[in-house]
Amino acid sequence: MTKLDRPALPAVTVLDQPIEMRDGTVLRADVHRPAGDGRHRTVLMRGPYGEPVFRAVPVTAYLRAGMAVVLQHCRGRGNSDGEFTPWVDEGRDGADTVDWIKAQPWSNGEVVAAGNSYLAGCALQLASERPDALKAVVAAMTPHDFYDGLKYHGGAFALGSAFFWGALQGLLGAVHDIDDGGAARLGPLMKVLADPDAAMRTLPLRDVPGVADAFPFWRDWVDHPERDSYWTDLAETLRHDRIGVPVLHVAGWFDVFLRGTLENHRRIPGGRLVIGPWSHLSQTGGVGELYFGHAASAQMAQLEAAQIAFLRGDTGGPAVRYFTMGADVWRDAESWPPPGATATRYYLHSGGSLSTGAPGADASPSRFVHDPDDPVPTHGGNLLLNDPVNVGPRDQRAVEARPDVLVFTTPVLDHDVEVTGPVRAVLHAATSAPGADWTAKLVDVRPDGRAMNVLDGIVRSPAGATRHEIDLAATSQTFRAGHRIRVQVASSNFPRFDRHPSMVRAEQTVFHDAGRPSWIELPVMQ
């Protein structure tokens, strides 16, 4: 048998290390470092989810790479003192922790930060504080803004993900305060989580039982539907223009924060970007009802090794690496979006056809009735819901059979069409209600009839508006010969997004004439 030349690596672990912040609050962290008198670059991760999440951190791999690791609970979470206020303290607390690390005898004075989701946000907020010891950041699947793309999308409240995260934080807060009134909050929360669909139908939303009382920031989110001072004050904690260290961004085509990660990459110069066919909670080769092949997994793509190398100081390699679904291959590029795409408009026509041909002058409109008491159900997509199965690509045929969903489809393709880059849709449409939501969904229709969603978006338009632009973020999808390209149009996607506040049954009209064309713009690679 082969003999592995793998020496033992003695390590030192200190649990619940107290670290005092500038305001006197004590946060606690687990510290792992190679044993001995050496000095090491340190990986800092900070999170609000308690110890179980930290179990997934590749501590052993970091140690073998010669680095120390500090896993710190945010204030008011895990074993840390203080009160948890989302996003507000993370930059300052991170900077104070970096100062503590620098002063340790095992530190070489260099710190790097990493994480996924909220943890990645902590890392970027730390970077915007500009501590001189910080050398690099790995930020995976995290928003670029606390209003746009996190709690609101196109003006619509991201109800499903907000409820999921608010309920989770309510539970974590109750456990943290279990000896100080937290136990009384657990019962109502558990009752709500037993029937989340009913809870999310509560009106007004600010009074969702259990969550609103256990997690007071819920009402802040609901009460500020516009970008006002509440959101602009939070935005000051994540100043992209102040981030001067290299950042490796990791995105997923079916991640709830896809657009946020792409925007972080755009706003912070000099970084790298990896985009896989992943959801927020999974980086395997399969998501939803599709399997993209063994090579699609983060493990086979050697993502962890690339992240560790980046944190050690190796910032070389392709600027952008992305996975093209349909063709199921990885590609490298010098920038995002990659060069070579032609923005191509596919027009929505009367009768349900979709083509690059412009509509005629007298084309008739399409109509449907939107009933807020029977909204179009969320079925797949870039989701973070209480239902972990409802995510990614899922067969849309049941949704498309509804009378309140318009469907527009190309003829069968006689050649592959690769779409790589940002996608947007423009609808010329009217409503009988005082304002409306307009949704668009891009779908890959397979020869066997399955209609698999690729991406979707929403815009909440004011009364009287007739032109509605929908940001569908971006994708890299090859529509294979024999497939068809489809677009769905509706006025709800519940519970991913809340129902329009008017709660009025409405007659919706989508126009298709030359003066009022409706279309989706796809970046078609040449």
CB atoms within 10 A of CB 16: 13
Q: Can you say how many angstroms the Cα of residue 255 is from the centroid of all Cα atoms in its chain?
A: 4
What pLDDT was estimated at residue 346?
A: 98
What pLDDT was estimated at residue 347?
A: 98
What pLDDT was estimated at residue 1?
A: 64
Q: Which fold has domain 11-148+234-333?
A: Rossmann fold (3.40.50)
206 in helix, strand or coil? helix
* Strand duo 341-348 + 354-355: pairing: antiparallel
What pLDDT was estimated at residue 181?
A: 75
What pLDDT was estimated at residue 262?
A: 98
Angle separating helix axes 118-128 and 90-102, nearest 10 degrees? 70
d(Cα 118, Cα 165) in Å, to the nearest integer? 11
| Count of CA atoms in the C-beta half-sphere (13 A) of 526 | 6
Indicate the helix (H) or strand (E) that contains 234.
Answer: helix 229-235
**DSSP-derived secondary structure for 336-378:** SSPTTEEEEEEEE-TTSBEESSPPPTTPPPEEEEE-TTSPPBP
Q: Two tokens at 485?
A: 């390209």
Domain range annotation of the chain: 11-148+234-333, 156-224, 341-525
Long-range contacts of 182-187 (CB under 8 A, 24+ apart): 185/210, 185/213, 185/214
pLDDT tens digit at each of 526 positions of the chain: 677 788 899 999 999 999 999 999 999 999 999 999 999 999 999 999 999 999 999 999 999 999 999 999 999 999 999 999 999 999 999 999 999 999 999 999 999 999 999 999 999 999 999 999 999 999 999 999 999 999 999 999 999 999 999 999 998 998 888 877 778 888 888 888 889 999 999 999 999 888 888 888 999 999 999 999 999 999 999 999 999 999 999 999 999 999 999 999 999 998 999 999 999 999 999 999 999 999 999 999 999 999 999 999 998 889 999 999 999 999 999 999 999 999 999 999 999 999 999 999 989 999 999 999 999 999 999 999 888 889 999 999 999 999 999 999 999 999 999 999 999 999 999 999 999 999 999 999 999 999 999 999 999 999 999 999 999 999 999 999 999 999 999 999 999 999 999 999 999 999 999 999 999 999 999 8
Structurally, what CATH architecture does the domain formed by 341-525 represent? Sandwich (2.60)
Provide CB contacts within 8 A for 182, sequence distance 6+: 173, 174, 175, 176
**From residue 327, how far is each of 141, 230, 249, 331, 420 by CA, in Å?**
23, 44, 23, 11, 12
For residue 204, whether the previous peptide bond is cis, meaning omega lies within 30 degrees of 0, is yes
Q: Are 145 and 74 in contact (CB under 8 A)?
A: no
Angle separating helix axes 159-176 and 183-194, nearest 10 degrees? 150
Q: Two tokens at 333?
A: 């590029």
d(Cα 71, Cα 69) in Å, to the nearest integer? 6
**E strands of 147-280, at which residues?**
152-153, 156-157, 247-254, 272-279
Catalytically annotated residues: 117, 255, 280
**From residue 36, how far is each of 19, 41, 104 by CA, in Å?**
22, 14, 13
Residue 296's closest CA among 265, 318, 328? 328
Burial of 423 (0-12, 13-18, 19+ CB in 10 A): buried
Phi, psi (rounded to 5 degrees) for 465:
-70, 140
- The identity of residue 451, as a single letter, is A
Q: Can you say how many angstroms the Cα of residue 149 is from the centroid of all Cα atoms in its chain?
A: 8
d(Cα 431, Cα 438) in Å, to the nearest integer? 10
Residue 137's closest CA among 32, 329, 265? 265
* Strand duo 152-153 + 107-116: pairing: unpaired
Residue 113's closest CA among 140, 88, 87? 140
What pLDDT was estimated at residue 209?
A: 81
Helices (H), 45-131: 51-54, 59-64, 90-102, 118-128
d(Cα 121, Cα 234) in Å, to the nearest integer? 12
**DSSP-derived secondary structure for 117-169:** THHHHHHHHHHHT--TTEEEEEEES--S-STBTTTEETTEE-HHHHHHHHHHH
